[in-house]
Chains A and B, each alone.
Chain A
Amino acid sequence: MTLTHEPIEGEHFIVVSETTGESWEIVVGLEVHCELATVTKLFCGCPNMFGDEPNTNVCPVCLGLPGSLPVLNHNVVELAIRLGRALHCTVEPSVFARKNYFYPDMPKDYQVSQFDKPINVDGWLDLPDGTRVGIERAHIEEDTGKNTHAGGSGRIHGADYSLVDYNRAGVPLVEIVGRPHIRHPEQAKTYIDELRAILLTTGASDAKMEEGSLRVDANVSVRRVGDTALGTRCEVKNLNSLRSLGRAIEYEARRQVDLLETGERIKQETRHWDEGAGRTRAGRSKEEAQDYRYFQEPDLVPLAPSAEWIAAIDAAMPPLPAARRDALASSAGVAVTETSVVIAVQRDLDQLALATIAAGGDGKRVLTHVEHNLSGDGATDLNPATFAQLVSLELGGQLTATQAKTVLAEMVTSGRAPDVIAAELGFEAMDSSELEGIVDGLIAESPDEWADFCTGDDKKRGKLQGFFTGKIMKATKGQADGKAVAALLESRRAESL
């Protein structure tokens, strides 16, 4: 079966089955676990550190030794509230619960989490495209140890035994449970990008997918376009990159549509993404649903952050990505959904762009440079006044777009003024009569090509436009302005017809 993605009215995305012609809507809700950027673990003073030698950051509490008692880390609560408030959640009095299961990644045989009374509830996250994704809850829990499956195939199935490192056991996590408001694989990736930006802005987490400090599970279902009830969902795990996330959602949606169209039912289950094979696989099926026998953790008292504490966190909240995009877009006079605006904030270059615009730089040109010619590294140190000066030189015609890009790169490295760099590189405004002389000379050199350029079809003319432009750029050592060259060629062509 072949399926295609097509936007409907630019908002909903569907898969159209080519076998039946029916349209299906993809519905996705994401669950994100992120490790909090604390110094120590959730309930003990062991360092919260990625990549240390195995089993060096352990103590009786995180090893689950008898008689040890957990004590909650103040900074975990601080960061969890900060994140919750950034996601527009309400902070509630909360209690911790034991989630019981038998698996050697938790030596206690339970994970301390929050169950029926989570700390953050009922918020939302706005995507750059304007979609508002609801946040059901964002609760605190502890991370598990790391298993390495040894022998056999080296994977979980068929392994002879497993090796466990408890450095990660007890590292603080916040699990952010999003509502099923996502409608497309790309939108899921954007949601994670946006969430990552919020995690970084609030300092709650370093949010590195490759190091596992940000982990994503996707609940995927499909329904016929027009249906309002949710379909049966499958939870897809083992998504180690944004690319995997997008591919897995698409694969899973196709699989479900395929099943439903052949009259089968979707079984609610956990499925694992296999990046190599490009497909999801059912885990070992369980006879009965997981029963974690949650109950309140008797070793921890309830958490009830004061109104003053929450207010202080609100007051200290740094500007969040959505607000930063609004500010930049309005200052530059462009739509808030512009890619350049989104990228400027992602690269943390919005302050530079704002300052440059304030110093007189043209908003659109500034954003073009930020999007195409500046990466995050080093660019934040650019002087807004000289950046604005460069943009003015470019708009005034003293520098071509290509030259401006070269000068800008040099400004980032050396911090010198654009006019000095331009003069040094020999970038001088080319006299229009000088350019005309060169162009006329080149036309005379290639009479056959010129004739074809003047009379040929669009395809031929496009090709020969490139031919002449290349020669002109070579003859002028790249100093000719691309737009001026195109205009000149066109006027000469008009004259010769």
Chain B
Amino acid sequence: MSARLTRDNVAKVADLARLNLSEAELERYTEQLGAVLDHAEDVASLDLDGVPPTAHPLPLVNVLRDDVVVEGVDREEVLSQAPSVEDRRFRVPAILGEEP
């Protein structure tokens, strides 16, 4: 198991992601995520001086589209698939917490 990742770290990340994990799941994910971090640590142990950070696996930059309207989707069709609608808007449960 990774020395860098604790069960509490995973519990916190799960909480931030609104995931309700059982004790067994917490243990399993701590181990799995630890293995990912260990791999990153292996990479970091290499001599990477002069190697620029990779922002994206594709060797592309500036993929752009023209500023022209493309027809979207029909409102009634979209709203008909929502669990709850009122006044042509999506109806969602009361928002607790603070606006970000």
List residues of chain A with CB under 8 Å of any chain B CB.
Answer: 38-40, 44-47, 53-60, 63, 71-77, 93, 95, 100-105, 117, 147-152, 156, 159-166, 270, 283-284, 286, 290-293, 296, 298, 300-305
Instruction: Answer whether A164 and B88 are a contact pair too, CB < 8 Å, given A72-B63, A159-B95, A304-B62.
Output: no
Instruction: Answer whether A58 and B78 are a contact pair too, CB < 8 Å, given A95-B55, A101-B100, A162-B95.
Output: yes
Least distance between A67 CB and chain B CB atoms (Å)? 14
B90→A77 contact, CB < 8 A: no
Q: How far, in angstroms, from A153 to B42 measured CA to CA in the complex?
A: 56
CB 8 Å contact bits of B55-89 with A (1 = contact, 0 = none): 11010111111111111110100110000001111
By a CB distance below 8 angstroms, the chain B residues around A156 are 95, 99
Least distance between A287 CB and chain B CB atoms (Å)? 11
Least distance between A49 CB and chain B CB atoms (Å)? 10
By a CB distance below 8 angstroms, the chain B residues around A60 are 73
By a CB distance below 8 angstroms, the chain A residues around B99 are 103, 105, 147, 156
Q: Does B98 contact A (CB under 8 A)?
A: yes
Instruction: Answer whether A55 and B68 are a contact pair too, CB < 8 Å, given A159-B95, A303-B62.
Output: no
By a CB distance below 8 angstroms, the chain B residues around A75 are 66-67
Q: Kindly name the residue among B13, B55, B65, B72 whose own CB sees the greatest number of chain A CB atoms within 10 A.
A: B72
A38→B67 contact, CB < 8 A: yes
By a CB distance below 8 angstroms, the chain B residues around A77 are 64
| Number of A-B pairs, beta carbon distance below 8 Å | 141
B61→A39 contact, CB < 8 A: no
Q: Does B94 contact A (CB under 8 A)?
A: yes
Q: How far, in angstroms, from A199 to B63 measured CA to CA in the complex?
A: 26
A166→B90 contact, CB < 8 A: yes
B16→A291 contact, CB < 8 A: yes
Q: How far, in angstroms, from A156 to B98 measured CA to CA in the complex?
A: 9
By a CB distance below 8 angstroms, the chain B residues around A105 are 99
Least distance between B86 CB and chain A CB atoms (Å)? 6
By a CB distance below 8 angstroms, the chain A residues around B93 are 161-162
Query: Which residues of chain B (9-63) have a CB below 8 Å from chain A?
Result: 13, 16-18, 55-56, 58, 60-63
Q: Does B91 contact A (CB under 8 A)?
A: yes
Instruction: Answer whether A56 and B75 are a contact pair too, CB < 8 Å, given A283-B98, A301-B58.
Output: yes
Q: How far, in angstroms, from A387 to B37 measured CA to CA in the complex?
A: 74
Q: Name the residue on B nearest A61 (C-beta).
A: B72
List residues of chain B with CB under 8 Å of any chain A CB.
Answer: 13, 16-18, 55-56, 58, 60-73, 75, 78-79, 86-95, 97-100
By a CB distance below 8 angstroms, the chain A residues around B56 are 95, 296, 298, 300-302
A40→B60 contact, CB < 8 A: no
Instruction: Answer whether A73 and B67 are a contact pair too, CB < 8 Å, given A95-B55, A104-B95, A162-B95.
Output: yes
A284→B92 contact, CB < 8 A: no
B88→A54 contact, CB < 8 A: yes
Least distance between A152 CB and chain B CB atoms (Å)? 8
Q: Name the residue on A nearest B100 (C-beta).
A: A101
Least distance between A344 CB and chain B CB atoms (Å)? 33
Q: How far, in angstroms, from A340 to B43 measured CA to CA in the complex?
A: 63
B100→A163 contact, CB < 8 A: no
A303→B61 contact, CB < 8 A: yes
- The 23 sampled A-B contact pairs (Cβ below 8 Å) are A40-B69, A44-B72, A45-B70, A45-B71, A53-B88, A55-B78, A58-B78, A60-B73, A73-B65, A95-B55, A95-B56, A101-B100, A105-B99, A147-B99, A148-B89, A151-B94, A162-B95, A165-B88, A165-B90, A284-B98, A290-B100, A300-B63, A303-B62
Q: Kindly name the residue among A56, A71, A292, A296 whose own CB sees the greatest number of chain B CB atoms within 10 A.
A: A56
Instruction: Answer whether A39 and B69 are a contact pair too, CB < 8 Å, given A55-B88, A162-B92.
Output: yes
A103→B95 contact, CB < 8 A: yes
A147→B95 contact, CB < 8 A: yes
**Residue from A74, A95, A104, A166 within 8 A of B66 (CB atoms):** A74
Q: Kindly name the residue among B13, B55, B86, B97 whose own CB sees the greatest number of chain A CB atoms within 10 A.
A: B55
Q: Name the residue on B nearest A93 (C-beta).
A: B61
By a CB distance below 8 angstroms, the chain A residues around B61 are 93, 301-304
Q: How far, in angstroms, from A162 to B75 measured CA to CA in the complex?
A: 19
A54→B95 contact, CB < 8 A: no
Instruction: Answer whether A293 and B64 are a contact pair too, CB < 8 Å, given A45-B69, A164-B90.
Output: no
By a CB distance below 8 angstroms, the chain B residues around A286 are 98
By a CB distance below 8 angstroms, the chain A residues around B58 are 301
B68→A164 contact, CB < 8 A: no
By a CB distance below 8 angstroms, the chain A residues around B62 are 301, 303-305
Q: Name the residue on A nearest B85 (C-beta).
A: A163
